[in-house]
Each structure stands twice: as structure tokens, then as C-alpha cells.
Amino acid sequence: MKIQIDVITGFLDSGKTTYINEQIKEGRYLKEKTVIIQCENGQTEVNKNDNIYVVKCNNENSIDEEFFLEIIKEHSPLRIVVEHNGTWSIQLLLDLLDSSKLRKFCLLDRIIHTVDVNTFDVFINNMGSILTEQISLSNTIILNKTDNFPFEKLQSIRKTLKTLNKSAKVYKCITKKESNSLIYECLFSINAFPRSKGDKLFLAFTVFILGYVVFALLRGGTFSFSDIDLSRYQTFSTLFISILMQAFPFILIGVFISAIFQVLVPEEAILKVFPKNPIAAFFVAITAGIFFPICDCAIVPIAGKLVKKGVPVYCAVTFLLAAPIVDPVVIASTFYAFPGNPKIAVYRVVIGLTVAISVGIITLIFGQKDNILRNNINNSWCGCEACTVKNLKNKSIFNKIYLVFNHAGSEFLMVGRFLIIGAFLSVLAQTSLPQDILSTISSEGLISIIIMMGAAFFLSICSTSDAFIARSFTNHFPMSSVMGFMVMGAMIDIKNVFLLLGTFKRRFVIELLFIIVALAFSIITIYTLLLF
Amino acid sequence: MRVFKNYEINVDAILKSLVLLGFAVFFLTSFISGNYLFYVNPRYGLYIVFGAIAMILISVFFLKDIFKVSRRQRPNKLNYLIFLIPLVIAFVIPGGTIEPNSLHSFQMSVEAGAGTGDNEEDTEKNISERKKLREEDIIRDDGTILMNDDSFMYWYEELYINQKRYIGREIEVIGFVFRMDDFNQSEFVPARFMMVCCAADMQPGGFLSRYENASQFADNSWVKVVGTIEQTVFRNQSMPVIIAHTVEQVEKPEMEYVYPF
């Protein structure tokens, strides 16, 4: 029989020792020889008895394999309870317990996190990743001091916990009036639900595919997918896959750059590049794009990473919008697309930058202070290790490479699914709308600018090649609206909106989209009056 | 059983790896078989290989976690379901050439290359340098302009840009019959699909041709047109037109698309 290990986390005064005492009182730790390792000197003392030994430990570094092995040798307990210090890294402890040496003797049983509901909001906003790490790694969460705590607030805490940890059992501690003892009442447990919605769909899909194959086998003897007439869907399939095939490599480049930022580049270094002075910062945001000559879809994860690393939102937004405009490949392709008319390429850069900077200025003035990243409460937005582990500096090179790949992969899967939805919708629009819709609509004046901006949005053509498509519009539409197509198309389109949704909060993306459309439209109109 | 808890297999890591490996296999097989040309411009070939290798490496690193218990959030399998949709589509409905009439004509076609009219000579130089075409591949010994797989884009741009210079020259084009609503009975375009970036931005392109018995050729059938280049005004736009001497049915070329750049 292996030694069971319980780990109890939570900040000072959150009720860790009280919980242990309650457990002792209820008899959980009575029958078996138990060692309690206390890493914190709290107000409450452990109620000792014959079977319980308390070991104090005040130094995080002294907890290593030897430390545990010695305790096991000295006491040969059946259970070890680690009352962890709330400010130490739980990940390190768990890694230690997972090490092959200790796994021979011990087995992790429960990871309990205790919460003082009265201070929860303050801690989650100020302690950030230390607390979210503890919550997301627990399998049991205890809400303490809930007597007289308003019900609505308790609900909001439950909601927050749910976003951080979908599988833990959550208990509410209430005082029983008559005997003045504490009772832990199970509030909710995700494990109790049979299957999540996603699981059901996944299962249904698999069953459908398998059933289909079996059905075809029974009916036709030998089965071949080519027996089914799928040519009707071939156009859709080809267009859909083509967008993914073209965008995936660029997104991979983007997430790798983002992962390298995350793992290898310290935050201060990135912040140093972006100066405090807004004017200088705008200049940096614009020129930074020249050094990222990659497809517009690769920029999104990088911009998200900049925000996460503490770069002001307006800088990141300006960078996001300006990068595809100043991309040397985009400029060159615009030159080629309009041979003998280099002015077009210059106008595109000038107008595009005007829009990018204006959007940046608006974000600077009206930008809210809230976090705009998805899953903002936990820094582990992609749920991978690189985002939660704090002290990356101590890691070995192999470990860092592992983290880069792990992070890049997690982020790719996160962003990629939004790209898939975006590509799907874009192709649906292309194949299902009536033919020649653009040539039949009025092509005069301001309306045509809106139409072309809309076309750019829904067609989602890669910014490096949209100039060639734009050229084919020149006969039907005035130059101003073709410019609208090229400026809008490079900055934002349906594919990018979904990519942004994978990184930023929904509300921020919608606001940003409206600001971009409104500004791009008005700026192009102004330039039209001046230039064309 | 509690005892085995630490040896539980990490389903999340396996699903992640499988999704990535699936795409990597699809990318590699398409690249090796050349099918990727149905989807994207050849210049993306190396990017596709890079993407496949990157995904394989990532999935190897994910697989390292297979026996590591995931204490983080339980994976929502819906996320992977979304990736399965394109994967299944990619393998079940293989990419193929697209029927012109099924492609949405957001893009205008015949006069696609037009716009700037006659131009300076340096533009012409730029194009030919860029394409690195050999003279004998694009012009026959008797001076006939040859528009084949390789030279289609070159001549397409060149003839629109320097229309006047080529008036009266002989030309030979292979393309599919493409008609638009406002064409008359004798008019059609021997067109090719031009793929700038990926299949989603394909547009048919070619020169307006006039041939007395044009109506005997069905839409989308492949033809070889031999004729003389003239200049005409169509939709208020000056453009080259091929006055065809002969039009004959031909087999469709192995690669139906042409790739600018």
C-alpha cells in the first residue's frame, strides 16, 4: 500500500488548519498514522494525538525528495498531509511528488484548496497567477467563512472557480448552530455530471462516422469513400481546405514567435522596446511590423502576447493593424499588381497607416483599463505549462524547448479552431451568394466603398495577395473603393475576427471591429476627396 | 482504483497529438503527390512542408505528456471536434479542379488584367525578368505567341499592358470556354483559372475571342484557339481581342490552373 498524500493549498487565514482539524475530528486521519507537514505558521494549531505527527518547514527550498524520504523513513506513515504555504509554487511541489523516486512510495490523493470567501475577490485581482495556479490544479475546493456571506457573491465566486477549474468538487463550509461545529456541504461537482456537451457531440460525431462506414460496408460489400458522389461538395471542400492549408503554416510561425516571447524573452525586455511616450510608442508599433513580414493571420497571436507581456493596448492594436500594411511583401505585391502605377502602393501604405494610428489613438483615449485578453483571470490562458510556471529562469535548455513547443502547440490549437470557423463562414459566403452580385449592385460613390470593404471582409483574402484581386475590380469600381478593399482586407476580415476571438475578449473584438470599419470608411472618404 | 491513478493515460495529450498528426499527414501527402496545387499556389509548397514538420514536432512534445496526469481543466472535446471537421473533409472529399460555374464570381474576369492601358517599356522588362521565361518557350519560330501553362500569365499581363505593340500578331491559346451574360453568339474567352494565393481567390482570366462557330463549343470545354490579335472596345474598355482562325477541341491540361508569381 502506498502512502497517500494530501496537499492543502490556500492563503494564510483561509482555513487550512481548521480544515485539517475538522478532518481529524471526523476521524479521517485517526485510524492511520499521519504526518502533517506545516509550511506556514498560522493562528490555528493542529489538534495533535497519538497517530498524528507534525513536521514544520519554513523554507521552500528544503522540500525535496530527501525531505520526504526522511519523513517516510522516520515515521513510516500511511498518509502525509502537506499544508502548503500559499505563496509557494504548487507546481514545483506536484512535480516533486510526480518524480519517479517518490512515486515508488507515495500516491497523490487529494489536492485541496481552501478559500476565504470574504477576501477572494481581493486576492484573485491582486495575487493573479499564484492563486489561479492553486485553484486550477486542485481537485477539491473548500469555501470557508461563508456564514452571513451574501448568496449572489457566492454565486459569482462559483462562476469564477468554474472558469478556472472545471473538474473540482466545491464544498461550502457552514457552521452548524446547535453543536457549533463545521459542516462541509458539497456545492457542486462537475464530475457528477455524466458528460459535457462537447463530449456528447464528439461521441455523436464518432458514432455517426463509424455507423456510416458500417452501413456502407453492409450495403455495398466493399467500402470506398469514392463511391459516394461528393462532387457537389468538392468546390466547397477545395476552397475551405485551401484557406486552411495556406494559413496554417503562417499561424504556426506566429504561435512559435509568440511562444518564444513567452518562454525566452523576459517581460522587461519587451516593455523596454515600447517606450512610455505615446508618440514614440506609435512609431515603434508601426516599424515593428516591417520586421514581421508574415501573413496577417500570424500577427494576431503575437499582438496578443504583447498585451499579455504588459505592452499598452493601443500599441498592440496599432501594431496589429499596421503590420500587414507595412509588410514589405504586401507592398511589393501591390507594386506588381498595379504595374506602372506605383502611387497605388504608396496610397495604400499612407491610408492604411492613418487608419492604424487613428484606431490606436482612439484606443489610447477611450481604452478601458480592464484586461482585454480572453480568460483574463488566469494567466494560463491557453492552459499550458509555460503560462503558469513562474520561475522559468531556473529551467534547463531542454525544458525551455519543451515549453516553447508545448505553448506553441496549445496556442495553435486554441487559435486554429477559430480560423476554421472563420474560413468555413468565408467559403460559405463565397459559394452560396448569387453570382455576379458585385457587378449588379450600384458601383457609384460612397456605397461602393462600403460594398468593397464588405467584400474584403467576407472574402478573407490573404493580405499578401489581395492586391491582385483588387486589380480585377478596377474596371467596375472607382479607385477609392478598390482602396477600401485593400486597406480593409489587410487589416481585418472575417478570418481575422475569429482569430482575434481566440485571443481577446469578445467585447473588445466587436468594439475594435466597429472602430476599424468606421474609421477606415471615413478616412478613405476623406482621402478620396483629396486624391482621386 | 485509486492505486492506478498516477498511471492514468492523458486523453487530452493524445487527442492533441492526433489532430496535429492528422493535419501533418494530410499536408505531407498532398505535397508529395502534388495535390497541394489544387489548393494553393506552388510558392507555398515549402511553407506546407514547414507546417507539417512543425506539427509533427509539436505532437511529439505533446506525446511526452501521455503518462503525465493532467490535473488541469478537463479537456473540452468540442475543441478537437472542430479540427476533425476539416480533416474528415480533406480526406473524404479530395480537392479537385473547380467547375467555373460553381465558383462564385465575386471576381470579374475577362478584363481582369486591364486597367492601366499602354505603358512604359520598363514595366515589360520587369515582368519578363520576374518570370524568367525563355524566348523559345513563349514564341514559336514563326513568331506566333504561345500561351501555354508556363507562359499564360506572362502574355496575359504583357498583352494587356502593351496592347498596341502586338496588334496583328498571331497567337495560340489553350483554355476552357468561358462566357459571360453580355457576350454575343460568336464571343467567348479561352480562359484559365489564375490562383494568386489559394483556391479561395481563384479567378478566370483570358482574352476575349471572336469565332463564327463559337456556339458549337460548350461552356467549360477545353479548346485550342489560333488567331490574330486585334484591339477592341468592350464595356467601354480598350482591350486585346483574338480573331480566331481555328478553334479545336483538346484534352484538358494536366494542371488546369496557372499561377501568377
Interface contact flag, B72 A469, Cβ < 8 Å: no
User: Which of B85, B116, B181 is the closest to A340 by Cβ?
Assistant: B116
Q: Which residue of B has its CA nearest to A256?
A: B54
Angstrom distance (rounded) from CA A420 to CA A432: 18
- Considering the domain architecture, whether residues A186 and A201 belong to the same structural domain is answered as no
Interface of A with B in 117-136 (CB under 8 A): 136
pLDDT at res. B4: 41
From chain B, pick out residues whose CB is under 8 angstroms from the CB of A466.
Answer: 201
Interface contact flag, B39 A242, Cβ < 8 Å: yes
What value does the mean pLDDT take over residues B142-156? Answer: 82
Angstrom distance (rounded) from CA A111 to CA A90: 10
- Considering the domain architecture, whether residues A146 and A180 belong to the same structural domain is answered as yes
- Considering the domain architecture, whether residues A151 and A207 belong to the same structural domain is answered as no
From chain B, pick out residues whose CB is under 8 angstroms from the CB of A241.
Answer: 39, 86, 89-90, 95
pLDDT at res. A490: 84
State ipTM: 0.82
Distance of CA A209 to the CA centre of its chain: 31
Interface contact flag, B51 A166, Cβ < 8 Å: no
The answer to whether residue A231 is domain-embedded is: no
| In CATH, B100-258 is 2.40.50.140 | yes
The answer to whether residue A233 is domain-embedded is: no
Q: What distances in angstroms separate CA A48 from CA A34, A44, A53, A54, B66, one per listed residue?
A: 10, 12, 7, 8, 41
Interface contact flag, B93 A233, Cβ < 8 Å: yes
Structural domain count, chain A: 3
- Considering the domain architecture, whether residues A365 and A512 belong to the same structural domain is answered as yes
For A229, phi then psi, to 5°, come to -80, 105
- Considering the domain architecture, whether residues A38 and A167 belong to the same structural domain is answered as yes
Residue A413: name the closest of B91, B55, B68 by CA.
B55
pLDDT at res. A117: 82
pLDDT at res. B53: 95
pLDDT at B52 over 90: yes
Specify the higher pLDDT residue, A243 or A41. Answer: A243
User: Which of B19, B93, B199 is the closest to A230 by Cβ?
Assistant: B93
Chain B touched by A223 (CB under 8 Å): no
Q: Among A12-16, A273-277, B77-81, B248-252, which is the least confidently predicted range?
A: B77-81
- Whose cell is 478620396? That residue is A528
* pLDDT mean across residues, chain A: 77
How confident is residue B137, by pLDDT bands cut at 50, 70 and 90? Answer: low
Interface of A with B in 325-344 (CB under 8 A): 336, 338-341
Alpha-carbon distance A176 to nearest alpha carbon in chain B (angstroms): 32
Q: Which residue of A has its CA nearest to B236?
A: A475
Interface contact flag, B123 A238, Cβ < 8 Å: no
What value does the mean pLDDT take over residues A405-430? Answer: 82
- Considering the domain architecture, whether residues A374 and A428 belong to the same structural domain is answered as yes
For residue range A8-46, list pLDDT tens digits in order.
888 877 888 888 887 777 777 767 788 888 887 777 777
Chain B touched by A472 (CB under 8 Å): yes
Angstrom distance (rounded) from CA A43 to CA A18: 10
Chain B touched by A194 (CB under 8 Å): no
Angstrom distance (rounded) from CA A498 to CA A243: 14
Alpha-carbon distance B146 to nearest alpha carbon in chain A (angstroms): 23
For A142, the 3-state DSSP assignment is strand
The dihedral through the CA atoms of A501, A507, A510, A516 has a sign that is negative
For residue range A321-379, list pLDDT tens digits in order.
998 888 887 888 788 777 677 888 899 999 999 999 999 998 888 776 566 666 544 44
How confident is residue A393, by pLDDT bands cut at 50, 70 and 90? Answer: low
Residue B194: name the closest of B103, B94, B115 by CA.
B103
What value does the mean pLDDT take over residues A512-531? Answer: 87
> Which residue type is seen at A151?
F
- Considering the domain architecture, whether residues A411 and A488 belong to the same structural domain is answered as yes
pLDDT at res. A92: 79
Interface of A with B in 227-266 (CB under 8 A): 230-231, 233-235, 237-246, 248-250, 252, 256
The answer to whether residue A331 is domain-embedded is: yes
pLDDT at B1 over 70: no
pLDDT at B32 over 80: yes
Query: Is residue A443 a contact partner of residue A452, using CB atoms and an 8 Å limit?
Result: no
pLDDT at A283 over 50: yes
Beta bridge partners of residue B238, listed in sequence order: B233
For residue range A86-141, list pLDDT tens digits in order.
788 787 788 788 777 787 788 888 888 888 888 888 787 776 677 877 887 888 88
From chain B, pick out residues whose CB is under 8 angstroms from the CB of A167.
Answer: 73-74
CB atoms inside a 10 Å sphere around CB A98: 15
User: Which of B90, B114, B127 is the closest to A241 by Cβ?
Assistant: B90
- For A457, counting Cβ atoms within 10 Å of its Cβ (0-12 exposed, 13-18 middle, 19+ buried), the class is buried
Three-class DSSP labels, A115-140: EECCCHHHHHHHCCHHHHHHHHHCCE
- For A229, counting Cβ atoms within 10 Å of its Cβ (0-12 exposed, 13-18 middle, 19+ buried), the class is exposed
pLDDT at res. B99: 61
pLDDT at B57 over 90: yes
Give me the residue spans of the domains in chain B. 2-92, 100-258
Interface contact flag, A245 B36, Cβ < 8 Å: yes
CATH number for position A47: 3.40.50.300
> Which residue type is seen at A315?
C
- Which DSSP string corresponds to B184-252? -TTEEEEEEEE-SSBGGG-EEE--EEE-TTGGGSPTT-EEEEEEEEEEEEETTEEEEEEEEEEEEE-PP
pLDDT at res. A223: 46
pTM for the whole structure: 0.70
pLDDT at A450 over 50: yes
User: Which of B20, B99, B123 is the closest to A340 by Cβ?
Assistant: B123
Residue A282: name the closest of A206, A374, A354 by CA.
A354
For A65, the 3-state DSSP assignment is helix
The DSSP bridge pattern shows strands B222-234 and B237-249 to be antiparallel
Report the alpha-carbon angle B187-B195-B223, nearest 5: 35
Alpha-carbon distance A452 to nearest alpha carbon in chain B (angstroms): 10
Q: Among A124-138, A440-454, A457-471, B69-83, which is the least confidently predicted range?
A: B69-83
pLDDT at A58 over 60: yes
CB atoms inside a 10 Å sphere around CB A344: 22
- Considering the domain architecture, whether residues A384 and A473 belong to the same structural domain is answered as yes
User: Which of B62, B74, B105 is the closest to A409 by Cβ?
Assistant: B62
pLDDT at B103 over 80: no
Interface of A with B in 37-96 (CB under 8 A): 94
The answer to whether residue A414 is domain-embedded is: yes
User: Which of B51, B113, B198 is the closest to A242 by Cβ?
Assistant: B198
Chain B touched by A99 (CB under 8 Å): no
For residue range A180-205, list pLDDT tens digits in order.
566 666 555 444 334 456 666 767 77
Interface of A with B in 494-523 (CB under 8 A): none
From chain B, pick out residues whose CB is under 8 angstroms from the CB of A403.
Answer: none
Q: Which of B198, B203, B235 is the best substitution to test chain A (most A C-beta atoms within 10 A)?
A: B198
User: Which of B83, B90, B197 is the closest to A465 by Cβ?
Assistant: B197
Angstrom distance (rounded) from CA A213 to CA A310: 51
From chain A, pick out residues whose CB is under 8 angstroms from the CB of B20.
Answer: 409, 412-413
CA dihedral A322, A326, A332, A334 (to 10 degrees): 40
Angstrom distance (rounded) from CA A155 to CA A147: 14
Specify the higher pLDDT residue, B70 or A410. Answer: A410
- Chains A and B: how many Cβ contacts under 8 Å? 239
Q: Which residue of A has its CA nearest to B260?
A: A468
For A113, the 3-state DSSP assignment is strand
From chain B, pick out residues whose CB is under 8 angstroms from the CB of A430.
Answer: 104, 106, 200
Q: Among A304-318, A392-406, A431-445, which is the least confidently predicted range?
A: A431-445
Chain B touched by A165 (CB under 8 Å): yes
How confident is residue B51, by pLDDT bands cut at 50, 70 and 90? Answer: very high
The answer to whether residue A232 is domain-embedded is: no
Q: Which residue of B has its CA nearest to A168?
A: B73
Give start and end residues of each alpha helix (H) in A384-444: 385-388, 397-432, 437-440
The residue segments making up the domain with residue A203 are 197-226
- Which DSSP string corresponds to B113-163? T-SS-S--HHHHHHHHHHHT--HHHHB-TTS-EEE-TTTHHHHHHHHHHTT
Interaxial angle between packed helices B78-92 and A397-432, expressed in degrees from 0 to 180 and rounded to the nearest 10: 60
User: Which of B83, B85, B116 is the closest to A341 by Cβ?
Assistant: B116
pLDDT at B187 over 80: yes
From chain A, pick out residues whose CB is under 8 angstroms from the CB of B36.
Answer: 245
Angstrom distance (rounded) from CA B185 to CA A466: 34
Interface contact flag, A197 B40, Cβ < 8 Å: no
Q: Among A117-121, A495-499, B107-111, which is the least confidently predicted range?
A: B107-111
Chain B touched by A205 (CB under 8 Å): yes
pLDDT at B116 over 80: no
- Whose cell is 482562325? That residue is B245
Q: Which of A102-106, A279-283, B223-227 has the highest mean pLDDT?
A: B223-227
For A265, phi then psi, to 5°, come to -100, 120
CB atoms inside a 10 Å sphere around CB A220: 11
Angstrom distance (rounded) from CA A377 to CA B245: 73
Angstrom distance (rounded) from CA A111 to CA A108: 8
Interface contact flag, B74 A205, Cβ < 8 Å: no
